[in-house]
Amino acid sequence: MTSVGTAPAGRTPAVMVLGTHSNAGKSVVATGLCRLLARRGYRVAPFKAQNMSNNAGVTAAGGEMGRAQFVQAEAAGIEPHTDMNPVLLKPEAGHRSQIIVDGVVYGHLDASNWRELKPMLWRHVRAAYDRLAQRFDVIVLEGAGSPAEINLKAEDMVNLAMARHAAAPCLLVGDIDRGGVFAALAGTMLVLEPEERRQVKGLLINKFRGDPALLGDALERLRELAFDTPCLGVLPYLPNLAIAAEDAESFSTAGSLPATCDIAVVQVPHIANFDDFDPLVHEPGVRLRWVRHPQQLGSPAAVILPGTKATLADLAWMRSLGWDGAIHKALAGGTQVVGVCGGLQMLGNVITDPDGVESNPGASSPGLGLLQVETSFRRGKQTSQAVLQVGTERIEGYEIHAGATTRAPGTKPFGHIVRRSGTDVDVEDGAVGHGGAVWGTYLHGIFHHQGFRRHWLQDVGWQGQEGIVTSVPDVEYDRVADAVEAAVGWPLLESFLFTTD
């Protein structure tokens, strides 16, 4: 056994966070570990072999990767790099996904070509990890879904296969808040093969409300059921956690003050970059809610059409439910209408797809007709970090979109992109219509800018207090790190990372 604080020979110290299911808390626990290790002086980096999510971000070099690893890199105090998430699958319409490899669009994935593509993807995954491991002291790996899906294990390169490549001991996280955590943890261990069980060195119970002493001897019983795998700690439920999530299911309304401003976000089937709206959730006095059917809309101060990975398909979905008429009616009743990225495109007059980027070549659809713009999809993507000038505000964000949107003569842009990928530019962005009651932009992250966000909220009737400062990422990262450290203890975590049998 090597000494604490010394990496086993030939291995960059690493730990993998697995989950009993999606949304067990893998991303948050990994974020907390990144922050905790960074505070202890280690150069730490996150890694997830493959993400399946439309919640993506853009690195300084213009590469796409999952937002969860962006968050974890930020918690670690480092710049995001596509080596941290070498494969990103972005679900589209028709049961296919766009494949992003090392930050760049590679092609499309469906049931017919997965086995053909997997060897190539696995090579890229291992190479990316090896490059990362050469540059950092410690790597925190995140798994996907569950490692015990018996129908997927043979093809799974994200969980235990990746842990073996990294020689990383594994933590298995279960969510007690949703119920059944003991069965989930013990059942996962039961389904694993003996050699796979040996990779799992400890269990974590996540999202516990109350005093862990109330669990009595349940943890010892769990250890017996889980093939003598110890429970290393019980993490508390952290309410109103302002950290970007990987899945839209995690979106929730927070806040302790009475709502004075009701905002609705249309939850289209292929929603992308939904964390654009997280800062609105945490503003005091704002009620932000998902709506899927026009009957849920009511009379909000604003309705937002978010980004989407399948604009034409989601536009057809909206029209089939009567959203076109509902949004026109809401606008007439005083509701402001906002579109971000794909939402901007849908608010226009027409969308065409001559090259078959999203659908069949030559496909087209009328838009909602609320902005005097037209969009044409073309091969190739605009992916860049960007700065948008809107009035006196300079707003940092990022662009991820296919195609180009043109304004009709006399239609005002929403703002000007003044910096893109580190280079000064002057590019008109988005559009404004109906006297400012309708607007759209391609910039993701616009609501993360506090000055713009609060001026816009006041414009739609918010009565919040300017002096209140909403949660900032550093505070939230420390909050998670503190919870992990308190539940497990640094000596045990350090031993777990740097000691091997």
Residues tagged active-site:
341, 444
Written as six digits, the tokens of 281 are 């959730």
**What DSSP letter does each residue of 65-134 carry, written as one string?**
EEHHHHHHHHHHTS---GGGS-EEEEE-TTS-EEEEETTEEEEEE-TTTHHHHHHHHHHHHHHHHHHHHH
CA distances from 298 to 167, 264, 331, 334 (A): 53, 9, 12, 12
Contact yes or no for 173/206 (Cβ under 8 A):
yes
Q: What is the DSSP letter of 447?
A: G
Which of 218, 188, 212 has the alpha carbon at shortest distance from 200?
188
H or E element at residue 458: helix 450-459
Distance of CA 116 to the CA centre of its chain: 28
Distance (Å, rounded) from C-alpha 35 to C-alpha 480? 8
466-479: b or e for each residue (b if 16 or more CB lie within 10 Å)?
Answer: eeeebbeeeebbeb
As given in the structure block, the two tokens for residue 392 are 């006196």
On the 0-12 / 13-18 / 19+ scale of CB atoms within 10 A, 268 is buried
Q: Can you tell me the distance from the alpha carbon of 84 to that of 135, in angstroms, rounded to the nearest whole number?
A: 12
Q: At what angle do helices 26-39 and 67-76 cross, to 10 degrees?
A: 20
Convert 219-237 into a string of H (helix), E (strand) and C (coil): HHHHHHHCCCCCEEEEEEC
Please report the beta strands in 357-474, taking only residues with DSSP state E, as ranges in sequence order: 363-366, 373-390, 393-407, 415-420, 423-429, 431-433, 438-441
CA dist 64 → 53, 101, 209 (Å): 11, 9, 36
Rounded distance between C-alpha atoms, residue 368 and residue 319, angstroms: 9
**Which residue carries 């569950």 as its tokens?**
146
Q: Give the position of tokens 């402001």.
A: 336
Residue listed under structure tokens 């969860």: 68
